[in-house]
Structure 1
Amino acid sequence: MLKQSESAFYLDGIKYQSHYFSLPLNYDDYTTTPDHVSVFFRELVKTENEDRDLPYLVYFQGGPGFPAMRPCSNSGWLKRALEQYRVILLDQRGTGLSSPITIQTIGHLDPNQQAEYLSHFRADNIIRDAEAIRKHLNIDKWAIIGQSFGGFCSLTYLSMFPDSLLASYITGGIPSIIRHIDDVYHATYQRTLDKNSEFFARFPRAQELCDRIADTLLDNKTVLPNGQMFTVEQFQQMGICFGMAGGPEELYFQLEAAFVEMNGKPELSYGFLNYVLGQQSHLTNPLYAILHESIYCQHNASNWSAHRVRNNYPQFNHHKGAPLHFTGEMVYPWFFDQLETLKPLKAAAEILAAKSDWPNLYNVEQLKKNTVPMAAATYVNDMFVEFDFSRETLRSMGNARAWMTSEYEHNGLRVDGEKILSTLISMAEDIKAIQ
C-alpha cells in the first residue's frame, strides 16, 4: 500500500490535510490481479485540536458515484462533528480524486473490460478501502456517518467489519437488506406519484407549463448547449428535485422562464436549456447511471428494474395530450442512447444489468446481533429511500435506534446538519449508556 500526503492548508479555523492511498482493485484476487486504484481522502480537524488525540469520524457520501463534500466553512453537520472528532471526507473509489470513472478514464477499454472493472466499485469494496486505510493509520476504531447511499455503505461496514467501529450515524440511508430490487422500485414509483401530486397541487400553473414544454419537445428538434438532443424522457427526469427541500420551488421558477419569443414564435430559452443540462449529473458522474441499480442486488440481476417496473405505472409513459408526470432518480437503458457521455458505455451497462452473481452487501445475521451503537434519521416522506423498508430493516437490527421525522426531505443533513448530527450523537450515547 502506497501512501502520499500533500501539504496542508487552513480555512475558517480548520486544518485540511489531503491523503492518497494505492489500494487493490479486487480484494478477492489481489495476488493475481495487479490492478490498483488510487483512493483520496481529506482529513479535517479544528486548528485548536491539531495536537489532541481525538477519535475519527469517516463520512460516506450519497450516490453512488459522487465525491465527498468540499466544505468551505465550519458549518452544518461538520461544525458539530469537529467538536469531538477528526473528520475524514472519503472520495469513494471511482469519484472525485479516487481513480474517477469517466469516459476519458475507461474509454480505452472494450465493453467486457469496462464491465469487469466497474464491477469492483460497489459498497463492499468502498468499505474494504476504508478498512485498509484504518489499519494503515493504526486507528483502533473509528465512527462513521453515511448520508443516503452512504448509509447503505454504513450497513455494509457494520456487516463486514463491526469490530472496527465506535458508532454509526445514518441519515436518509437505511435500505432494505432482503427485498428484491423490483420491490424497491414499486415503492419508489408510488412515492414519486405522491410527490407529483403535491407539486402540481401547490403550483396551479405548473401542469400547463410542463405539458407545453413536453409538446414542444415532441414537435420540434431541441438541442441542449452540449449538442445533445433534449427529449421528453430527459425532461421528466428533472423530477428528482422533488425529493429535496427547495427543489420543487426551484424547478417551478425555471418552468416559468422556460419560453422566450423569437420573431413572434415561442421557443425554449437558452437559460432553461442550460439549466436542464446542468441538472444532468450523469454526464459527468457516469458511475451513478451504471451502478445505481446494482446497489440493490445480491446474487440477482437488476435487468433494468426501473424500466421494467415502470410498465406498471402508465402515468409515466408520456404521450401527447396526456398530463406530464415527472420521474425521479430512476435509471433507464435509454440513458445510454441519449446522453452523450454515456453512449460509449452502453454495452458495458447492458452487461452489468444482466450480471446475476453480485455478492452479498449485507450480513443479516451479523446485523441482527449488532453491538455497535447505530443511530439513524429516517425521513417519513423520503422519495428515494422507502420509509417502510427502513423501518423493516431497523426492526431486524440490534443496537439500532431511529429518529423518524417528517420535518425533512432526503437532503436533511445538508439543510439542518448541525441539529441532525447532534441528535444522532446523543442517541448513540444513550445506547452506549445502557449497553
Structure 2
Amino acid sequence: MTPELSFAGMLAYKHRFTLPLDYQQPNGETIEVFARELVSPENQHKQLPFIVFFQGGPGFGAVRPAATGGWIKRALQEFRVLLLDQRGTGLSTPVSSASLSHLSAAQQSEYLSHFRADNIIRDAESIRQQLVADDKWSILGQSFGGFCVLKYLNDAPHGVAEAYITGGIPSLSRSADEVYQATYQRVIAKNNDFFTRFSDAQGLVKSLAQHISDNEVRLATGEQLTVEMLQLLGINIGMEQGPESVYYLLEHALISTPSGTIVNPLFLAHFCQLLDYNTNPIFALLHESIYCQNSASNWAAHRVRQQYPQFNYSADKPFLFTGEMIYPWMFEQFNNLKPLKSTASTLAEKDNWPMLYDQTKLASNQVPVAAAIYSEDMFVEMRYSLETAEKVGNLKYWLTSEYEHNGIRMDGEHILDRLIAINRGEKLR
C-alpha cells in the first residue's frame, strides 16, 4: 500500500471502514469510520503491532500531526500508530446540525444515542479484526479517550495487549451530579490561581463584561457575545499554556476609537477559536451522557451550578470563569447548536443509557494498564481517579503535579515513555 502522506520521520496511510450505526441491527444503517495509520520509514515493511489512540472529547477528531514529535515519536519506535476519528468526528460521518437536519428531534436523539463510548469500542474492535485479524493491539486514551480505554477493557479485553491512560480515569459509579460538584470546586481553585497570577485580569474581564452587558457585541461567527459565553473561556485555564492564551486575549479585548470604546475585532475572532461548541456539537450534546448509567443527566452542570452562586456574575462581585460544563442556554445562543435545542433536551432527559462499566469484570482485568493521573487536573477529579484505580485489576498509576490536563500534548514523548516503562516493569530512563 502506498502512503498518502509523507512527513519528516513518518509515513501516513488512510483507512475507511463501513460499520453499523447500531450493532444490534448489523444489516441496518451504516456509517463510515476513518483512521490514519502512521509508521516510521525504517519500519515501513515490518510487521509491528498497532497502538490505537482514543482522542479526548467526546466529539473531537483525532490529532492531525504535522511532524514527528511528542507521544507519536515515542510510539513509532515500536508501533504502528492508528489515529481513530471516533464516530461522528473528523472524517467519520461527521455530525452537525446540517447533517441531522433531515431528521426530527426524536430521530436525532435516537441517532445520537449510538455515539457513546460503547459503540466507539465496537467500532474499534471491528477495525482491529479487519486490520490484524486475531492479533492484539495496544490502546492509548487521553481524557475522554481514557474513558474509552476502560470501556474497551470492560467489553473486549481479548483484543488488547497493553493499555495506557493519560488524564482520563473515570469514576465507575458516581453520578453526573457528583462529578460536577467536584468539578466546580476545582474550577474555583483554577480561577483563584489565574486571577492571582495575572494581577490585572480581574479588572480587564470585568470591564469587558460590563461593556458587553451595556452594548450589543457580535462575535465573528455572528452570535451576540454574552457574559455567560465569556465565562466559557475558563475551559482553557485548566490547560497548560491556556491561562496565558486567555490573559493575552483579555489584554486586547477593549480598544479606544474616535467613536468610543469598542471590542477589538481581533478579540471577537480569536474568542471563537478558543471555544468549540459551534464546530463540535457532539461535545455539547453528549458530554454529560458519558457519566450516565441507567440514569439521566437532566442538565447536571446547570443544576449543580446553583450550589455555587459565585459563578452568577454581577458587577458588585468578582468575575469567575466556568469550565468544562454544558448549559441549556448554549442551545439558544450558539448558532450551530440552536437547531439542536429540542434534541439536547431529549438527550438530557434520557434515563435508559446502558451501563458502561461492570466492576466485577474490571476487578479481574488481566491487561496491563498504566495511567498518568494529574493531581492538579481541572477536568478529572483526582479522588475519583484514584478510587477507580483501586478497583481495576492490573492497573498501575503515576500520580504527578507536573502537568495540567493536556500534559500529553505538551510533553507526550516523556509521558508515554514513562507509562510504557511502568507497564513493562522497566527502569525509568
Per-residue deviation at 1:268? 1.0
Aligned partner of 1:241: which letter? N
Deviations 1:206-227 (A, max 9, x none): 1111111111111111111122
Per-residue deviation at 1:114? 0.6
User: Is 1:207 matched with 2:202?
Assistant: yes
User: Is 1:49 matched with 2:59?
Assistant: no
Q: Aligned ranges for residues 23-422 of structure 1 at < 5 Å? A: 23-31=19-27, 34-137=28-131, 138-263=133-258, 265-422=260-417
Q: For the Cα contact (< 8 Å) 1:6–1:19, is it kept in 2?
A: no
Secondary structure, counterpart of 2:72 in structure 1: helix
- Single out whichever of 403-412 and 355-364 deviates more from structure 2: 355-364
- Distance, in Å, in 2 between the alignment partners of 1:264 and 1:356 is 53
Q: RMSD in angstroms over aligned alpha carbons?
A: 1.1
Q: Of residues 9, 14, 21 in structure 1, which corresponds to 2:17?
A: 21
Per-residue deviation at 1:282? 0.9
Q: How many residues align?
A: 425
What percent of counterpart residues are identical? 52
Per-residue deviation at 1:9? 2.5
Secondary structure, counterpart of 2:237 in structure 1: helix
Deviations 1:286-343 (A, max 9, x none): 0100000000000000000000000000011112322110001100000100000000
Per-residue deviation at 1:264? 5.3
Secondary structure, counterpart of 1:28 in structure 2: coil
Secondary structure, counterpart of 2:362 in structure 1: helix
Q: For the Cα contact (< 8 Å) 1:177–1:393, is it kept in 2?
A: yes
Question: Which residue number corresponds to residue 9 of structure 1?
Answer: 5
Q: For the Cα contact (< 8 Å) 1:301–1:357, is it kept in 2?
A: yes
Q: For the Cα contact (< 8 Å) 2:254–2:263, is it kept in 1?
A: yes
Per-residue deviation at 1:7? 5.4
Aligned partner of 2:410: which letter? V
**Structure 2: gaps spanning 5 or more residues:** none
Q: For the Cα contact (< 8 Å) 2:136–2:159, is it kept in 1?
A: yes
Aligned partner of 1:122: which letter? R
Q: For the Cα contact (< 8 Å) 2:38–2:80, is it kept in 1?
A: yes
**Structure 1: gaps spanning 5 or more residues:** none
Aligned partner of 2:347: which letter? L
Per-residue deviation at 1:139? 4.4
Q: For the Cα contact (< 8 Å) 2:236–2:274, is it kept in 1?
A: no
Per-residue deviation at 1:30? 2.5
Normalised TM-score (structure 1) = 0.96
Secondary structure, counterpart of 1:281 in structure 2: coil
Normalised TM-score (structure 2) = 0.97
